[in-house]
Amino acid sequence: MSLDQAAHKPHEALAALLADDMGRVNDLIAARMASEHAPRIPEVTAHLVGAGGKRLRPLLTLATAQLCGYEGPYHVHLAATVEFIHTATLLHDDVVDESAQRRGRPTANLLWDNKSSVLVGDYLFSRAFQLMVETGSLRVLDILANASATIAEGEVLQLTAAQDLATDESIYLQVVRGKTAALFSAATEVGGVIARADEAHVKALFDYGDALGIAFQIVDDLLDYQGDTAATGKNVGDDFRERKLTLPLIKAVAKADTEERAFWVRTIEKGKQEDGDLETALELLNRHGALEDTRQDALKWAQDAKDALADLPDHEIKTLLIDLADYVVARIS
């Protein structure tokens, strides 16, 4: 059932269902990214926001608030908050990664400079903070403050864990929670909190967002090794070339014999890569079933996401959220 529906892109179905609210979110984003004094701010932000992206995170907040019967105005503020935090982290990530492309366009750090990316990211983060204060909910503020700290901590951890062959699956999970799942789970949790859903449902929404975010990131990391460049917009092996210890590699390193380990030390820790190394890496990943194991992990997290919603009442939105979990892993199923 759900794989068929997945083909219809459940996030687009959600966007259609929540189009009025999403329109309000977009208006609020446009109003708040303006700056009376510093025109550089909306220039940089418009470049990124204008490039689109699926607006998945604000959709999750709108969806969970409506699923829990919310009728007030503040889910719009929270959805805009979540998108601002996401955009701010993208701007800072592109500086940290020295990226040249994002969403198929040159990055802000390339078009303007790193300075603008750092400072406009700070500005958007402050704007996010103002928006959430307007909701008047200290609990929402607590959730988003904690999510922000987890995001920043995960990013720093990624910096030190990268290229370190001692990085294991538990460190990987912390990094993934920071870079992806913390904002997904905050987005779904605050939707329930603002609607004053009961605690079990709030917990369920948190668990859904957490597992969905983890599945989402594992799929991304898996497709880096076996994706279709035309579909993913990434080249196969980018993470290998950038010496990033993602889940497939971590699994292969854990099973490496002495000779294989020397290969990983040379290519990842020391970064001395030669022609043919990517092919060798792929061969090692397959030899130890690392890609298949990674795929199974992603499917397990997607199943966890669906299971988390079990006790929530039947609702059109609940069905779409379940479909969304299937859709996230559809590309690797």
3-state secondary structure of 101: strand
**For residues 10 and 178, which CB has a smaller minimum distance to its own copies in the complex?**
178
DSSP for 232-279 reads HSS-TTHHHHTT---HHHHHHHHT--HHHHHHHIIIIIS----TTHHH
Is there a contact between 91 and 121 (Cβ–Cβ < 8 Å)? yes
Cβ-based neighbours of 21, under 8 Å, separated by 6 or more: 62, 66, 75, 76, 79
Q: Find the shortest distance in angstroms from Cβ 202 to its own copies.
A: 18
Q: Return phi, psi of residue 167, to 5°.
A: -60, 120
**For residues 138 and 230, which CB has a smaller minimum distance to its own copies in the complex?**
138
Q: Find the shortest distance in angstroms from Cβ 114 to its own copies.
A: 7
Q: Residue 124's Cα: distance from chain center in Å?
A: 18
Q: State the distance between the two ends of the chain, measured CA to CA, in whole angstroms.
A: 14
**For residues 101 and 146, which CB has a smaller minimum distance to its own copies in the complex?**
146
Q: Find the shortest distance in angstroms from Cβ 204 to its own copies.
A: 24
**For residues 122 and 279, which CB has a smaller minimum distance to its own copies in the complex?**
122
**For residues 164 and 198, which CB has a smaller minimum distance to its own copies in the complex?**
164
The first and second tokens of residue 95, run together, are: 């500086």
CA distances, 207 to each of 27, 195, 203 (Å): 30, 17, 6
**For residues 114 and 232, which CB has a smaller minimum distance to its own copies in the complex?**
114
Is there a contact between 249 and 290 (Cβ–Cβ < 8 Å)? yes
Q: Find the shortest distance in angstroms from Cβ 33 to its own copies.
A: 11
Q: By CB under 8 A, name the binding residues for its own copies.
A: 35, 37-41, 89, 92, 95-96, 114-116, 118-120, 122-123, 125-127, 129-130, 133, 136, 138, 141-142, 145-146, 148-149, 151-153, 155-157, 159-160, 171, 174
Q: Find the shortest distance in angstroms from Cβ 76 to its own copies.
A: 18
Q: What share of the chain is helix, strand, coil (3-state, %, to 5)?
A: 75, 0, 25
**For residues 138 and 231, which CB has a smaller minimum distance to its own copies in the complex?**
138
Cβ-based neighbours of 267, under 8 Å, separated by 6 or more: 240, 243, 273, 277, 281
**For residues 35 and 273, which CB has a smaller minimum distance to its own copies in the complex?**
35
**For residues 149 and 200, which CB has a smaller minimum distance to its own copies in the complex?**
149
Query: Burial level of 74, CB count in 10 A (0-12/13-18/19+)?
Result: buried
Query: Burial level of 272, CB count in 10 A (0-12/13-18/19+)?
Result: exposed
Q: Find the shortest distance in angstroms from Cβ 7 to its own copies.
A: 38
Q: Find the shortest distance in angstroms from Cβ 35 to its own copies.
A: 6
Is there a contact between 88 and 147 (Cβ–Cβ < 8 Å)? no
The first and second tokens of residue 119, run together, are: 């400072």
**In whole angstroms, what is the distance from residue 264 CA to residue 160 CA?**
17
